[in-house]
């Protein structure tokens, strides 16, 4: 049985293929800041998109979108700000998307949450 890290890598690879098919241009993967990690940073239709990938093999702990709680959102927002400061890209339109992978099915929630 694959460990958690292997499942995560496989899930991100699946998400990358899906996002590329959907027209996203991948900028970077696994961006780390002192606040946490953003799985994928991409561009779509002129928008800078910060993407969380969640894979589930069963519903024992809920579906893939159930784990995006307020703490995760806050860490993603703080990491996105860190990325924008480092790369001098303030003033751009941004959004936060979540890709959920469950039983081979890939779904995306665009504008999953907003930075407040």
pLDDT band (50, 70, 90) for residue 6: confident
Residues of the domain holding 75: 4-113
CATH of the domain at 14: 3.40.1350.10
Question: How many domains are contained in the chain?
Answer: 1
The residue with greater pLDDT, 27 or 103, is 27
Which positions ≥6 away from 94 have C-beta within 8 Å?
47, 48, 49, 50, 80, 84, 115
The residue with greater pLDDT, 91 or 83, is 83
Residues 9-31 pLDDT 10s: 888 899 999 999 999 999 999 99
């Amino acid at each position: 049985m694959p460990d958690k890290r292997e499942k995560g890598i496989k899930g991100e690879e699946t998400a990358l293929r899906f996002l590329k098919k959907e027209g996203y241009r991948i900028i970077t993967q696994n961006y780390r800041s002192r606040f946490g990690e953003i799985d994928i940073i991409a561009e779509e239709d002129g928008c800078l998109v910060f993407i969380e990938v969640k894979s589930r093999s069963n519903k024992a702990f809920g579906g893939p979108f159930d784990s995006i709680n307020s703490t995760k959102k806050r860490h993603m927002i703080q990491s996105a700000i860190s990325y924008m400061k480092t790369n001098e890209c303030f003033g751009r339109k941004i959004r936060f998307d979540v890709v959920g992978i469950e039983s081979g099915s890939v779904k995306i929630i665009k504008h999953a949450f907003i930075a407040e």
